[in-house]
């Protein structure tokens, strides 16, 4: 973002009080190279989040998921008061992690201190409750990632998405096609309307699918 700022004499830092100058205006050309967004987590100023480096993957952990994090806790002057082990700390997100006491060699925390925490989410494992009574749960250790582009027979693109291969899709034709794919395989699936949306008219993200449409999917199995 580029802009020009024109500042009057009474605001210009180039004019000293009591020193008249013929300068009437100060002109500054500025170029905004970047900015960092600060997120107020609870809208009360208690926890502020600044993203130093964006993650490589999409998606966020839920309360039930098991996460591994690394962190370094510092005072505002940069003094380190605690840091996690090199391999990180593993815990369920809903339980949190508590530092009960500081190990030997770390500085004590003065009363009413503001803390800076450098936090890295290393990984997380999704946990899904298979029953309502929480007596059967599934922890996903590794997921199949599939990307696809859905088109009508005339080439109109109606959808571009990615999903996990164990997720049930809207149409059975896409499910069956993906089930026969291998890692890093790319394929074009031509699906008859009987294995698609049949007589339904569907509004997708990019276009509308008319009734009785045959569908074409360009599919890529990223990993499994």
The CA-based angle 62-170-64, given to 5 degrees, is: 10
Query: What is the CB-side half-sphere exposure of residue 101 using CA atoms within 13 A?
Result: 2
Q: Give the start-to-end residue ranges of the domains of the chain.
A: 2-31, 38-139, 145-223
How far apart, in whole angstroms, are the C-alpha atoms of residue 9 and residue 22? 9
pLDDT per residue over 36-45, tens digit each? 788 888 888 8
pTM higher than the cut 0.75: no
Same fold, 38-139 and 145-223: yes
Q: Which fold has domain 145-223?
A: Chitinase A; domain 3 (3.10.50)
Query: What is the CB-side half-sphere exposure of residue 201 using CA atoms within 13 A?
Result: 2
Could you read off the pLDDT tens digit of each residue along the chain, which spans 224 residues?
666 666 655 555 555 555 555 555 667 787 877 777 888 888 888 888 888 887 766 567 888 788 899 999 999 999 888 888 888 988 888 888 776 666 666 777 888 889 999 999 888 877 776 567 666 566 665 555 788 999 999 999 999 988 776 666 668 888 888 878 877 788 889 999 998 999 999 999 899 999 999 999 998 887 65
Q: What DSSP designation does 47 have?
A: -
Q: Which two tokens stand for residue 205?
A: 């993200």
* Domain 38-139 CATH class label: alpha beta
Q: What is the largest CA-CA distance in the chain?
A: 86
């Amino acid at each position: 973002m580029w802009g020009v700022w024109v500042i009057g004499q009474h605001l210009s830092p180039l004019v000293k009080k009591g020193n008249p100058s013929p300068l009437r205006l100060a002109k500054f050309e500025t170029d905004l190279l970047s900015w960092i967004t600060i997120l107020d987590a609870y809208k009360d100023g208690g926890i502020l989040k600044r993203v130093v480096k964006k993650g490589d993957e999409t998606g966020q952990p839920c309360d039930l998921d098991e996460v591994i994090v690394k962190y370094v806790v510092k005072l505002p002057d940069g003094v380190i008061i605690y840091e996690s082990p090199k391999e990180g700390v593993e815990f369920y997100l809903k339980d949190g992690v508590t530092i009960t006491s500081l190990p030997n060699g770390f500085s004590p925390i003065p009363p009413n201190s503001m803390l800076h925490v450098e936090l890295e989410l290393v990984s997380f494992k999704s946990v899904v409750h298979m029953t309502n009574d929480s007596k059967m749960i599934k922890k996903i250790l590794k997921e199949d990632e599939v990307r696809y582009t859905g088109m009508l027979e005339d080439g109109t693109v109606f959808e571009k998405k990615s999903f996990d291969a164990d997720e049930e899709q809207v149409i059975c034709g896409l499910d069956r096609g993906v089930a026969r794919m291998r890692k890093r395989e790319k394929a074009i699936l031509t699906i008859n309307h009987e294995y698609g949306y049949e007589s339904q008219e569907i509004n997708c993200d990019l276009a509308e699918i008319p009734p009785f449409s045959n569908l074409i999917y360009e599919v890529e199995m990223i990993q499994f």
